[in-house]
Amino acid sequence: MQIEVPAIVLHYVGPPHKATAQKVGEGMNEKDPGDVASSQRPRSPRVPVEFPLEVEGTDTSGNPFQAKGMATKISRGGATIAIDVDVAVGAVVKLVPPFGGKLEAHVNGSWIDDIDGNRRIGVRLLDSNGWFAE
């Protein structure tokens, strides 16, 4: 299976989350794509979701906050969350999902989405059991 976009061809090399990208015209045999792509490939698949959650932490100005967020993608150990608060990369936040419990998470990305203009943060859950932590 190939998906073509300008100057890039994605080649299917395994389960759905294991695709590698290379420029059109580059040969697959020139270099093992697994060596480069493995560090950039998610450790577990991302699943599109939409559920509300509370996010608690400290914003980029150092002020504590408690805000409503919306999980838009999750994996076993992390999530992408739409939130109206500017949170610094490296901050630790607490997530309160609708199914109960509190989970601590490390913010590993913060950006404004190009499509909808909303702020997003990427988080890595600190408990090794991820969303299933007690």
DSSP 60-83: TTS-EEEEEEEEEEEETTEEEEEE
Strand order across the 8-12 sheet: 2-5, 8-12, 19-23
pLDDT of residue 41: 58
Q: In the chain, what are the domain boundaries?
A: 2-37, 47-132
CATH number for the segment(s) 47-132: 2.40.10.220
Q: What percent of the chain has pLDDT over 70?
A: 66
Q: Which residues contact 20 (CB under 8 A, 6 or more apart)?
A: 10, 11, 13, 33, 34, 36, 37
Estimate to the nearest angstrom the gap between the alpha carbon of 76 and the chain centroid.
Answer: 11
**Tens digits of per-residue pLDDT, 51-61?**
999 999 999 99
**Tens digits of per-residue pLDDT, 13-31?**
434 433 333 333 444 444 4
**Tens digits of per-residue pLDDT, 102-127?**
999 999 999 999 999 999 999 999 99
Q: Give the number of other Cβ atoms within 10 Å of residue 87's Cβ.
A: 24
pLDDT at 65 over 80: yes
Mean per-residue pLDDT over the chain, rounded:
77
